Structure 1
Amino acid sequence: MRAVLREARTTDAAACAAILRDWAAETPWYPRSDPPEAREGAVAARMRQGLGIVAESDRIDGFILLEGGYVACLYVARGARGKGLGARLLDAAKELRPALLLWTHAANTGARAFYEREGFVATGASDGADNAERLPDIEYVWRQGETR
């Protein structure tokens, strides 16, 4: 079944947080510091502060959270990855905003390759001192009408 994109509701926070928790659990370099309920609260708070879009079939398969033009989160459930769902969520965000900015961890080579394929350009980097995980990260920007 093809997932339908719709605006996220705060009642989706638990399902979205579960996707994020699963990703963190299967990612060896990602620190495991937050209790599960903290992630759900953080996702729900971001949904209230900005705009969330979920991909839903018989369950939530992925989500993107925007705070203005900032992509705060983009995650796809393990069983739904590699099927274009992340690109669909990102395309929905691109339709809503003329420019998008995001940070991804330098160690997340899969995400970096994905964002670069989707037209994002690396514009900065940090040593991680200012992010919650304390991991080096890379800033990416996409602007409508710009091509690589």
Structure 2
Amino acid sequence: MTDHESGRPPTTAPAGVRLRQAGPADAEAVARVFLESRAAAMPYLPRVHSDADTLAWITHVVLPTSTGVWVAEQEGEGGEVLGFAVLAGVDELDHLYLRPDSLRRGIGSRLLAEVRGAAGGGLSLYVFQRNAAARAFYERHGFTAVAYDDGARNEENEPDVLYRWVP
């Protein structure tokens, strides 16, 4: 459901960017942001799925089954999707990705604030241990590392850090 369909106005973000609920029509753009962001920020990750499989996962799993999915898009007709965030369950920030050319503009902070508001309480998330930029971002936003693992819980077999934020 889009913000328009829910009767809520789109959420404002940094100048020229707006946030809104994602819908089925956003699947390709969300998949593109996911793939571009991971390739740029984490080139060490193995590619465990094809682009087509990633699109199918976004289309048939992420968008329809998540508690909430928000996109940040350039304002104006046909605005490009610059990033997205996913709330799974009541307290898991499952994904927050930005296009590489959209970093350090306040967009990630605004998406995170949107997810925090929807969760209504604390949030947890996993971050790859080697993803220093993401870890620094979450730590700046008050998240604390609460557990470390060896990567056995994710497809990439990449060691994770579990972060928790409590209001």
TM-score by length of 2: 0.82
Query: What is the percentage of aligned positions where both structures have the same residue?
Result: 33
- 1:93-128 CA-to-partner distances (Å, cap 9, x unmatched) read 111111111001001000000000011111111100
Instruction: Determine whether 1:66 maps to 2:66.
Output: no
- 1:26-55 CA-to-partner distances (Å, cap 9, x unmatched) read 232111221001111222211111110000
Instruction: Determine whether 1:55 maps to 2:72.
Output: yes
Q: Is the 8 A contact 2:48 2:155 kept in 1?
A: no
Gaps of at least 5 residues in structure 2 are 1-14
Say how many residue pairs are matched: 144
- 1:136 Cα deviation (Å)? 0.2
Instruction: Determine whether 1:143 maps to 2:160.
Output: no
| Bigger radius of gyration among the two | 2
Q: Which amino acid aligns with 2:36?
A: D
Which residue of the other structure, out of 132, 137, 149, is the alignment partner of 1:126? 149
Gaps of at least 5 residues in structure 1 are none
SS at match of 1:127: coil
Q: Is the 8 A contact 1:15 1:60 kept in 2?
A: yes
Between 1:123-132 and 1:19-28, the stretch displaced more is 19-28
- 1:22 Cα deviation (Å)? 1.0
Q: Which amino acid aligns with 1:92?
A: E
Give, in whole Å, the separation in 2 of the partners of 1:79 and 1:25: 13
SS at match of 2:157: coil
SS at match of 1:66: strand
Q: Is the 8 A contact 1:61 1:80 kept in 2?
A: yes
Query: Aligned-residue CA RMSD in angstroms?
Result: 1.1
